[in-house]
Amino acid sequence: MSQDIYPQLKEIIQPYLPEDVNPDAISPESHLVTDLNINSTHLVDIVLDVEDAFDITIEDDELDKMETVSASISLIEQKLAAR
């Protein structure tokens, strides 16, 4: 499953990267804020884009489960499985 999610998630994250961060820098281990330098206020936009792309709802208290790319993939998998 995560094989499909990863490229889609990368595409979602890409527009929020600062101009000096190369999209190739995104890896499963990347921390969105500390590694990729994404402005933390944009995490809410990434959540909305993820919700639209996968047709799931992410609760406010689940935001801390989306700190890294791999944690986000796990959360999305979990949500998809619970649907």
Partner 1 sequence: MSKTRVVVTGLGVCAPNGVGIDAFTEALMQGKSGIRFFSELEKLKFSCQIGGMPLISETIKSNYFTPLQLRNFNSAGILYGVVAGVEAWQDAGLPIDEETCDFDSGTIFGVGSLGVDKYRESIYKIDEGNTRRLGSTSVQQTMSSGVSAYLGGMLGLGNLVTSNSAACTTGTEAILMAYERIKYGKAKRMLAGSSSDGGPYVWGGFDALRILPSKFNDQPTQASRPMAADAAGFVPGCGAGALMLESLESAQERGATIYAEILGGSSNSGGQRNEGSMTAPNPIAVRRCIEDAVSDAEIEASAIEVINGHLTATTKDGLEIENWSKALGRSGVDFPYINSLKGMTGHCLAASGSIESVASVLELKQQFLFPNVNLNEVHPEILEHISESRIPKKKTPLAFNYLAKASFGFGDVNCCLIFKSF
Check if the beta carbon of residue 69 is closer than 8 Å to that of residue 30.
yes
C-alpha to C-alpha distance for 8 and 36, rounded to whole angstroms: 17
How many residues bind to partner 1 according to rule CB under 8 A? 12
Q: What count of residues does the chain have? A: 83
Would you count residue 44 as binding partner 1 (CB under 8 A)?
Answer: yes
Would you count residue 10 as binding partner 1 (CB under 8 A)?
Answer: no
The DSSP code for 36 is: T
Would you count residue 41 as binding partner 1 (CB under 8 A)?
Answer: yes
Would you count residue 64 as binding partner 1 (CB under 8 A)?
Answer: no
Query: Using CB under 8 A as the criterion, which residues of the chain lie in contact with partner 1 when the complex forms?
Result: 15-19, 41-45, 48, 60
